[in-house]
Structure 1
């Protein structure tokens, strides 16, 4: 990507550059497309998992010189990088990232470095937060876990030191953001902080570094008792066998949620799923099913509850109903339910239930080939179509332990990859 050479430093902007926050919700643009060429189209394609189409769109925009400003080049590079990673083209993603300076805080990525192109723009960085996140995540995909972890810790410090200012800290005179805009910006950065913390925890958890996870979570809970964080603490405790500690954490979550005047569905389902996990450990599948059914009644798209309810029914030797639960979810909410975890579980149930499971799996495989997003694991499709049964192994889902996917598109990444709830609808948000 070619970004015009930045002009000499402008002292009138330099002092405020590191302090101001650039976000679409507080910038002068009236729409996504006014912020960047066909940005709404790119977002829609990403939410549908059309990653190959995104690559084509980016290549076309670059070849036809449709990107006129430096920040547009960065936004398109971010979408291109995300698409390459989703398609598991990690070497190509690395080459794309190498077209940038390693230091994303370089002056060439500041709005005030281009006064002719951004004459009335608030100073600050034009680097999308998602680009910072992807730069930190990519080394893991190439086998360099430590570099990835170091970058995520650096990103966490960046958020806390430069973006999340204490309420008592005086506002810079050069900051012309309104109070409401500042509050919106702070909320966005708090969500991003939570995402990075969750990512770091998932990295340590994958190596069974439980004490590090506990220390991180307890430090966060000490600052603010967030039900989600306390729930994650309970799940980590459960993973290394501290069942009593997990129960205490889950009880604390329930008290926090019940004590709120208007608990939303998400928090109520969190409490029910926590209860179900305790029942699962005690092999009380009937009670677990009851909790998951309450979740589904409140939110029919709670795929974690749907998947786990089906597995509980399977352990209760009710294969027919367990298969119906998963098949119904795929038919009713395919965008949410079509994920590798759920499909493998359904495939295993077919092998247990049907003599002609190969034909049934082929039918499922053909349907997946028609509707699945581009990043759906094709090796799984081949497994589904195999004549010989795969090993019978079903997986319970626990979305509280790992963080969320950049697209918020479907549940599988919630259970298997370290990047959810980055809120792709704000992908162009500057940082």
Structure 2
């Protein structure tokens, strides 16, 4: 049951989405760490989560859509609850660029923990001689990035006016770069307004102030935590709008993020005697994921496994009573344990990213191997819901490759439910069981049974649009095209904020094409223009 939409994405990824606001799972294991552990590090992806109210359980970057690929079969959209309730639903997006998040009551320890990284032997030797080198590095040891000379245009509003009229299009008008302050505050406003193209144009202006603007690639410039956070924002936005070719090109200047000018030790005047990298961990991971989007990449996993290796070296140091970077530093037991939890969670985060990459490449053997290891050999003590999510994920991957033994993983997940709900809920199917049962029915081409399970999920779950979307898809495969269209049109009328998403609109697009009615073309164009507005994706209304 591959989901065939204009995206080149394995259908299994559609089974791991959450419409509710949730924190980044792997940097926020609040059930295992201190109550402040949820405030780990800023990441623009959290703004996306707060605005769009959805994220992947395998929460790293999804592959970009291919605007030239137009498939005509609707697909199932299955979202579920996040692994853990991190208690971070109320994170204020406005605080996203604040660097001094605290994990404990000692900010200096938090900074050491979050920005720790182990430099290579060559870089370490250079950093030890930094005071003698007077900030003079040979060119091959400098990081000299620059943005591409591209103006990102968003003509969505003009398109909406053309097809909907000014009055109906008015609510969809967004702020422009000239209507916000030319700083982080303005950048946050544009992102919160879903105007990612203009936000990218503003990152171009802001990075130019650091000597890293258009045409400045290959010229020396100074790096700070602030400039690196801007780059994280920019790369996140580039991936968000599927401009991955530009992202890959801009990433080349960063190499492996190990040059001396990316470490605090190189800037004594700014950071004193502090140790650590200037590179946010999220940026390190985004750059490691980019090769899978480049057609010329020969080893798409190389950088991801390098990051995983670096994380595991840090974990080994902590377990050997050393600091993260291997120095002999006296850490309190609580501080060491908190550091371990952070880096265990980051290890899981990287593994999930590799699993996503493997699924995108249809390397199911690797994905199953890594996920199985997470299930059987966890470093962290999972909550019941987290364990059930992992088991369901394994079952769904098995179904993706046509292996019906995935049903056994669903059963294992179901058996954990009584521990979560108590005896009162033991005999009543919950949301996860209903979705798992529906997927199993789909794998067996039993759309009528799947429809019943999605309908029951619709009754008990707040994400009504997802259930309605899947119910409509079941109706389509049952030959009830008009009923499927009516169901989705009704969903758009009743839940416009939730229904105007790429998955539902792609499905209704397919339904209209099969209906082949000239009267539907205007509606099709309207829905797709709004879809483009909502997601800032490339135009697919040809």
Deviation at 1:250, TM superposition (A): 0.8
1:346 aligns with 2:515: no
Equivalent pairs counted in the alignment come to 348
Report the CA distance shift for 1:44/1:285 in structure 2 as closer, same or farther (over 3 A).
farther
Describe the superposition over 1:127-179 as per-residue Cα deviations: whole angstroms up to 9, x where unpaired: 1122112212222222144432111122222233325877x653647366883
Matched residue SS, 1:99: helix
Judge conservation of contact 2:358–2:364 (CA < 8 Å) in 1: yes
Q: 2:329 aligns with which of 169, 174, 177?
A: 174
Describe the superposition over 1:292-312 as per-residue Cα deviations: whole angstroms up to 9, x where unpaired: 233334443365434322211
Q: 1:234 aligns with which of 370, 380, 395?
A: 395
Matches within 5 A, 1:377-416: 377-378=538-539, 380-382=540-542
Matches within 5 A, 1:150-161: 150-161=302-313
Structure 1, 137-146 or 316-325: larger mean CA deviation: 316-325
Judge conservation of contact 1:32–1:40 (CA < 8 Å) in 2: no
Q: Whose helix fraction is larger, Structure 1's or Structure 2's?
A: 1
TM-score, normalization: structure 1?
0.67
Report the CA distance shift for 1:275/1:359 in structure 2 as closer, same or farther (over 3 A).
same
Determine the structure 2 residue equivalent to 1:25.
39
Cα distance in 2 between the residues matched to 1:153 and 1:52: 32
Describe the superposition over 1:374-401 as per-residue Cα deviations: whole angstroms up to 9, x where unpaired: 2x231x222xxxxxxxxxxxxxxxxxxx
Matched residue SS, 1:381: coil
Deviation at 1:275, TM superposition (A): 1.0
Determine the structure 2 residue equivalent to 1:426.
none
Judge conservation of contact 1:293–1:309 (CA < 8 Å) in 2: yes
Determine the structure 1 residue equivalent to 2:522.
359
Structure 1, 69-78 or 279-288: larger mean CA deviation: 279-288
Deviation at 1:345, TM superposition (A): 1.2
Cα distance in 2 between the residues matched to 1:336 and 1:292: 17
Determine the structure 1 residue equivalent to 2:354.
200
Determine the structure 2 residue equivalent to 1:141.
293
1:254 aligns with 2:407: no
Deviation at 1:314, TM superposition (A): 2.3
Judge conservation of contact 2:500–2:530 (CA < 8 Å) in 1: no
Report the CA distance shift for 1:114/1:175 in structure 2 as closer, same or farther (over 3 A).
farther
Deviation at 1:276, TM superposition (A): 0.7
Determine the structure 1 residue equivalent to 2:228.
74
**Pairwise CA RMSD of aligned residues?**
3.8
Q: 1:126 aligns with which of 256, 275, 278?
A: 278
Describe the superposition over 1:238-294 as per-residue Cα deviations: whole angstroms up to 9, x where unpaired: 122221x1110110111123322589xxx9533321111112233333332232233
Cα distance in 1 between the residues matched to 2:344 and 2:469: 30
Determine the structure 2 residue equivalent to 1:287.
449
Judge conservation of contact 2:447–2:478 (CA < 8 Å) in 1: yes
Matched residue SS, 2:462: coil
Report the CA distance shift for 1:362/1:257 in structure 2 as closer, same or farther (over 3 A).
same
Report the CA distance shift for 1:128/1:276 in structure 2 as closer, same or farther (over 3 A).
same
Q: 2:196 aligns with which of 44, 51, 57?
A: 51
Structure 1, 147-156 or 288-297: larger mean CA deviation: 288-297
Contiguous gaps of at least 5 residues in structure 1: 1-22, 383-431
Cα distance in 1 between the residues matched to 2:472 and 2:489: 10
Judge conservation of contact 1:33–1:40 (CA < 8 Å) in 2: no
Judge conservation of contact 1:25–1:181 (CA < 8 Å) in 2: no
